[in-house]
Structure 1
Amino acid sequence: MSKRLVLSSDHAAIALRQAIASHAATLGWEVVDIGPTTPESTHYPLHGKAAAERVASGECDLGIILCGTGQGIMMAANKVPGIRCGVCSDTFSARMIRQHNDANMLSIGARVVGEGLALEIAEAFLAAEFEGGRHATRVAMIEG
């Protein structure tokens, strides 16, 4: 895996997204941060879709997206064919969505978790690998 990671957020999560971008870079990831960079109100569906398109096209291997709760931006990302994105507020779930669901994107709520936990969640997601086996059958069912 080439380790290319796209990050995006809405206005509510700029600082946390930038902290995750810096942390991912220290873990050896090439970070593609597609913004935004200014605090004016933005539309999370546009940011979720833009990041998801980069993952779905193969331009990036994985993606991390953020908004206030992580829910809305995740819903937008999951509309892009080939994307499997989950919202996680703990490290166990972040690891499991990679290992069992072959998630290629993670969503985090900037108003739900603090920076320290968010960095741990991102690291758990990025370090995990899909286990395949019986899980591959189930992921194929999700893909329809």
Structure 2
Amino acid sequence: MIEVRAPEPGDLETIGREAREEWVRDRFRTGVDFSPLMDKPNTHVALIDGQPVAAGGFIDRGNGNAIAWSVLGRVDERHFVGLVRAFRKYMKATPYRWIEAHCIATFHQSHRWVKCLGFVPVNGERCFTPDGREFRKYVFRNHNGS
């Protein structure tokens, strides 16, 4: 069963340790402080059988706009569709009308995730991380937002 709740201390670290991607696990091992993300009012954690498996939220950009972020740990295939539905439900319940997601160009799993959530690619606009990796930008037009 999938449960969604507000984050608790240690949730993100648990999820990060279980991520399939080595570079994601490395970020959590280096002691990066993710607490500012977890303190946001529109941050949620998904649990499967009581175990945190994913977290996500929004960074408010003003005027009904936000940037989405998420971290997924190990999610069994049989729970993936339910997890997408749970996150999409919370995404649609936010006050944001325009939500962006930025995916590292070579991190194909992230592209799959945002497409499953209903984001569409923005073509022609290039974005880069501080260390020079290229992002792909996706947007979600939330017709339920205020």
Q: Which bracket does the TM-score occupy, shorter chain normalised?
A: 0.3 to 0.5
Structure 1 length normalisation: TM-score? 0.34
Larger Rg: 2
Of Structure 1 and Structure 2, the greater strand share is in: 2
Which protein, 1 or 2, shows the higher relative CO under an 8 Å CA cutoff with sep ≥ 6?
Answer: 1
Structure 2 length normalisation: TM-score? 0.33
Of Structure 1 and Structure 2, the greater helix share is in: 1
